Chains A and B, each alone.
Chain A
Amino acid sequence: MTRQEVFTRLDEVFQDVFDNEEIHVSDETTAEDIEDWDSLEHISLIVAVENAFGIKFGMGQVTRMKNVGEMADIILEKLG
């Protein structure tokens, strides 16, 4: 899977979790940029991403991911 394909799939997951078709994520996207992405929604999002890609994030990764770019890096590493 290419990085571009990962982002396309991530767009779909984010749109589904936050119920907003207008969301498009990039490397720099953080929780600050998406209104409903707070600590209470974080795990819903993480689990949805895990299910979409068939991977599991480590807890250290869950608590330390700084932006969607880092999330994509971890996904690519796990898929690779």
Chain B
Amino acid sequence: MTFVSYEFIGFMGAALAIYYGCRQRFRVAVLFAASAVLLWLSGGPESVAAYGFSAVTVWAGALGIESSRKRAAVIYWCIFTLNLALLALFQYVNFFGYTMKEIHWLMGTEWEWEPVSLIAPVAVSFYTLTLTGYLTEVYWGALPAEKSLMRLGLFGGFFPQMAMGPIARYDRLAPSLFAGSAFDKENLFQGFSRILWGLFEKLVISERLAMIVNTVYGDYQTYTGSFLVFGAVCFAFRLYTDFAGAIDIASGCARMFGVKLEENFRQPFYSRTVAEFWRRWHITLGGWFKDFLMYPMLKTGGFQSLGAWGKKRFGKKQGKKIPVIGALLIVWFLLGLWHGGKWTFIIGSGLYHGILMSLALAAEPAAKKFYKNTGIRQDHPLWILFQRARTFVLVGAGFVLFRSDSLEMAWGIFSNMFSGDMGLFSGEGIRSAGLLPADLAVLAAAMAVLWLVSYKKEHGGEDAFNRSFTQIRILALLSAVLIFGWYGKGYDPSAFIYAQF
């Protein structure tokens, strides 16, 4: 059951009625039961069993760590490894096959194989990070272990955030999650508004963009040049409106229960550098890898020695970047791998970005010299616009890989982009790109609204934007979703892209 279904609306209505209809002390149990039921309905008993296993091992492990500091390291590493191994089993069972296929393509030979069909438990990539993050913080002594299995189970499996994040941190989520908030009209109104905005992003914008992307990428030998560039631009916005839309719906649902989820996006397309982009896109995933992998790794003796060697070899300023670059490449390899065991993910949403950031870091002195010699003002609006466009192009190129089924397809798309075909700019061309003229007009108008909202958030902040929902605007948004949204009989909105991870 996805967020975009009549069943989910019914489920939310029932859950809200029971939540606010029962006594405050039972409300946490209601959320727990609702989450368990939804997990069962979405992923069947196997998903419930897999999540239950992870939650119980992490709950027991954390209590064990707290009660016996002597054995803490053994307990921690056993439970941590066990959970990661489960994730690996489901997500990377075909990794070897995909790797061999890519190697054979690079060598110009054929590799025939059948991927193993193993259905992963719902949300395994997300809850594994949520739970192991909690376990790590208990191990570090930064958090007390949660005594209640129900509360811990709810923390990792709270239904609005379980399937696609944001990836929760215990100390930030627990206060509102376990409060059993009293009925508050403001929470319902704000939550509902946020859900509507998410539905607008998903059903009005993302689904239309998907038609263009699927048409162009589905036949990239025919649709070349301008079509593929247009397809790449559309996919960047498609991915954003799909994922940010899902997060807005999740945050809105949580808010209706009085629970505050973390923000996962902060107007990423305003970024002037790739590093800034990743501080604004899927923020909670980046935060997890930074706190639980990058920082601990950089503090190890090995990386410290690498830094000392670097300083001797390249001077203090540049030398200390050597371990950071090493860590960046490892972290981004794993970030890409987290999306799945395909090299299009490992490179497209991982290594490629790590390399871009490493290059930017190494080139800092050259950049400073460039600004000094050319006299370019870094705060000049035109320069800022150029930097944002450059960042969009760089990140969009990574998304092409992310969207491709294989490196061969990505290579095909990139090379066909330069065919010189300008067909898109003819009436017939634009009509053949997957959308009717009326839908293109709706898409253009909806994108203008998206830009306006992003502009308001960027310059006024998320809270100011949330407060700006008035009844009239809500009505307009609701009408837009109902009239222009793609849903209903005969049309199945595509699954959320991030629900596959």
Residues of A within 8 A of B (CB): 19, 39-40, 42-44, 46-47, 58-64
Chain A residues in 8 Å Cβ range of B104: none
User: In the complex, which residues 287-324 of chain B have their Cβ closer than 8 Å to any Cβ of chain A?
Assistant: 290-291, 294-296, 298-299, 304, 307, 316-317, 320-321, 324
Q: Which residues of B contact A62 (CB under 8 A)?
A: 295, 299
B391: shortest Cβ distance to chain A, in Å? 17
Chain B at the A interface: SS class: helix
Q: Determine if B361 and A60 form an interchain contact, defined as CB atoms under 8 angstroms apart.
A: no
Contact A58 B141 (CB under 8 A): yes
Give every chain A residue within 8 A of B296 (Cβ-Cβ): 59
Q: In whole angstroms, what is the CA distance A40 to B296 when docked? A: 12
Contact A47 B140 (CB under 8 A): no
Given A40-B328, A58-B142, A60-B142, 12 more contacts at CB 8 Å?
A: A39-B294, A40-B361, A46-B299, A58-B140, A58-B141, A59-B296, A59-B299, A60-B137, A60-B140, A61-B142, A63-B295, A64-B142
A19-B317, A47-B304 given as contacts; is B142 within 8 A of A42 (CB)? no
A44 touches B320 (CB 8 A): yes
A-B contact pairs, 5 of them (CB 8 A): A40-B328, A46-B299, A59-B140, A60-B140, A62-B295
Binding site for A on B (CB under 8 A): 137, 140-143, 290-291, 294-296, 298-299, 304, 307, 316-317, 320-321, 324, 328, 361
Instruction: Give the complex CA separation of A30 and B160 in angstroms.
Output: 33
Q: What is the chain B residue whose CB lies nearest that of A42?
A: B295
Q: Are A59 and B317 touching (Cβ within 8 A)? A: no
Bound Cα distance from A59 to B133, whole angstroms: 12
Which of B141, B290, B317, B320 makes the CB contact (< 8 A) with A39? B290
Report which residue of A39, A43, A44 has the largest number of chain B beta carbons within 10 angstroms of its beta carbon: A43
A61 to B296, CA, bound (A): 12
Contacts of B361 in A (CB 8 A): 40
Give the distance to chain B from A60, nearest Cβ to Cβ, in Å: 3
Interface-central residue, B321, B324, B361, by most chain A CB under 10 Å:
B324
Residue of A nearest to B307 (CB): A44
Q: Which residue of A lies closest to B357 (CB)?
A: A40
Q: Which residues of B contact A60 (CB under 8 A)?
A: 137, 140-143
Could you say which residues of chain B place their CB within 8 Å of the CB of A44? Answer: 307, 320, 324
Q: 3 smallest A-B Cβ distances: which pairs?
A: A60-B142, A60-B140, A43-B298
Bound: A71/B361 CA distance, A: 27
Q: Shortest CB–CB separation between residue A30 and chain B, in angstroms?
A: 15
Query: Which residues of chain B are near A59, meaning CB under 8 Å?
Result: 140, 142, 295-296, 299
- Shortest C-beta distance, B109 to chain A (Å), equals 41
Complex CA distance for A40 and B332, rounded to whole angstroms: 14
How far, in Å, is B488 (CB) from chain A's closest CB?
A: 45
- Nearest B residue to A62, CB-CB: B295
Chain B residue at minimum C-beta to C-beta distance from A51: B304
Chain B residue contacts of A46, Cβ below 8 A: 299
Chain A residue contacts of B328, Cβ below 8 A? 40
Shortest Cβ distance from B307 into chain A, in angstroms? Answer: 7
Quick check: B291 and A63 within 8 Å, CB to CB?
Answer: yes
Across-interface contacts of B295 in A (CB, < 8 A)? 42-43, 59, 62-63
Q: Is the CB of B299 within 8 A of A47?
A: yes
- Please name the residue on chain B nearest to A36 by beta carbon: B364
Question: Of all chain A residues, which has the CB nearest B292?
Answer: A63
What residues on A are CB-neighbors of B299 within 8 Å? 43, 46-47, 59, 62
CA distance A60 to B290 in the complex (A): 13
